[in-house]
Amino acid sequence: MSVGIALIAGLGNPGPEYARTRHNAGYWFVDRIASSARLSFRREPKFHGEVCRWSEAAREIWLLKPLTYMNLSGESVAALARFYRIPAEQILVVHDELDLLPGIVRLKLGGGDGGHNGLSDIIEKLGTKDFYRLRVGIGHPGSRELVTPYLLQSGPSADDERLIAESLDQAVRELPRLIDGEFTRVMNHLNRRSRGDSSPDNTATPNV
C-alpha cells in the first residue's frame, strides 16, 4: 500500500467578507470534511491557521485553513508540515482553479503555480513543487482585468455554486483512496467527467 495523504490544506482568505468568494474554494472543501466528521477547527498561532485532526481508516490526517491570507499560505502549510514531519508527497493542497469550469475537479502532483500566489508561496516555503494539488474549477471571467474582482469581490452564481458544490462532494468521496495513496485511481476517476478548460484564448492569468 502506498503512503497516502496526511495533511489537507484548503486555501482561502479569512474573514466574513471573503467567505463566499471563489478564491475560498479550498476552505469550502476542508469545511465539508470537518462538518461531515463533526469536527471543529481551532486556531493554532504556531501554524498561522485553523486546524483540526481527523481520524479515518486508522490514520490521522490534519486539516488546515491558513489564516495568513492567500499570498502567504506557505507560511502556514510549511509550519505544520515541519512540526509533524509530514513530507511534501503526503500533502494535498486544495485551491480554486480559473482554468477549469465549475463542476470540474482535478488531482495532480507537482507542476508550476499557474499564476496562483497561494501555490507559489507554498512551493517557495516547502522548497519543492512535489506535493499534490486538488484543483477546484471556478471558471474564468473572460479577461485578465476582471480576474481580481471575480475572485475576491463576488460569489458564484446559483448555478455555478451548485456545480462547484457537486464537484467538492465528488472529491470528498475520493478521500478514502487519497488517504490510502491510490492517487492514480483517483486521478482517473475524476478525469472521467468531461474536461472543462475555461481559459479564454490568449488571455493570461495574473498572479492572485
Domain boundaries, the chain: 7-190
CA distances from 150 to 20, 72, 98, 131 (A): 12, 20, 10, 27
- The owner of cell 516547502 is 126
Query: Predicted confidence band at 207 (pLDDT cuts at 50, 70, 90)?
Result: very low
Q: Give the active site residues.
A: 23
pTM, rounded to two decimals: 0.92
Amino acid (one-letter) located at 35: S
Segment 10-42, tens digit of pLDDT: 999 999 999 999 999 999 999 999 999 999 999
Query: Predicted confidence band at 59 (pLDDT cuts at 50, 70, 90)?
Result: confident
Query: Predicted confidence band at 80 (pLDDT cuts at 50, 70, 90)?
Result: very high
Segment 167-205, tens digit of pLDDT: 999 999 999 999 999 999 999 999 876 455 565 543 334
Q: Say what the pLDDT of residue 56 is.
A: 78
- Pick among 3.40.50.1470, 3.90.550.10, 2.40.50.100, 3.40.50.720: CATH of 7-190: 3.40.50.1470
Q: Strand pairing partners for 50?
A: 43, 65
Q: Say what the pLDDT of residue 91 is.
A: 98
> Helix (H, G, I), strand (E, B), or coil: what is residue 132?
strand
User: CA 73 to CA 68: how far, in whole Å?
Assistant: 6
User: CA 146 to CA 167: how far, in whole Å?
Assistant: 24
